[in-house]
Amino acid sequence: METTEKTNWKVDQSHSDIEFKVKHMMISTVSGSFREFDSEIEAADESFKDAKFRFTTKVNSISTKNKDRDTHLKSDDFFNAKKHPNLIFESKSFDGEIMIGDMTIRDITKEVSLNVDFNGIADDQYGQTKAGFEATGTINRKDFNLNWSAVTEAGNVVVSDKVKLVANLQFIKQ
């Protein structure tokens, strides 16, 4: 029986970003990011087809460039960072373009689909082999019990249910 040796890749945090975008009052978009995260890949080859991707971010590292809003997002109205400190994604399949996986926010796990651009592999000036990916997708925040809502006097919803996710990730071959 033949066993295939798997290669591990670790995220290069200094060359990676995890961001989200959500409509505010349905007239503008608020962007945010997570500053603390970890990710790794276990791959059979450099096509990354059917590789296992795992991603974890610290909810307390959320940043929307507004301290009051960040504090609100960490509260039980949204993420409840005290009780649920991590947001987790684990892939179930990857065909080179679409990644299906389980996302866990708070205590709820849902299957999500992400569009992935595999940007290739390159060796850097230090002899490290790196691989780059951009993953995008949209989730409904209410699927994960991020239910807080308000309506302005004019009848505008303050925060959209749809949240766009964008992850630009560079990995280092271990």
Q: What single letter denotes the amino acid at residue 106?
A: R
**Mean of per-residue pLDDT scores for the chain:** 93
Q: Give, in order, the Cα–Cα distances in Å from 98 to each of 16, 58, 104, 149.
A: 20, 25, 19, 31
- The whole model's pTM is what? 0.90
User: 71: Cβ–Cβ under 8 A, 6 or more apart, which residues?
Assistant: none
Q: For residues 15 and 2, what is the distance between their CA atoms, to the nearest angstrom?
A: 36
* CATH 1.50.10.150 correct for 7-173: no
Q: Residue 160's pLDDT is what?
A: 85
Question: Mean pLDDT, to the nearest integer, of 111-134?
Answer: 97
Q: What is the pLDDT of residues 57-102, one digit of tens each?
A: 999 999 999 999 999 999 998 999 999 999 999 999 999 999 999 9
Give the sign of the dihedral formed by CA 20, CA 22, CA 24, CA 28.
positive
Q: Residue 154's pLDDT is what?
A: 66
Q: Which of 26-30, 59-63, 124-128 has the lowest mean pLDDT?
A: 26-30
DSSP annotation of 6 reads P
Give residue limits of the domains in the chain.
7-173
Q: What is the pLDDT of residues 35-55, one digit of tens each?
A: 999 999 999 999 999 999 999
Residue of 146, 43, 61, 144 lying closest to 99 (CA atoms): 43
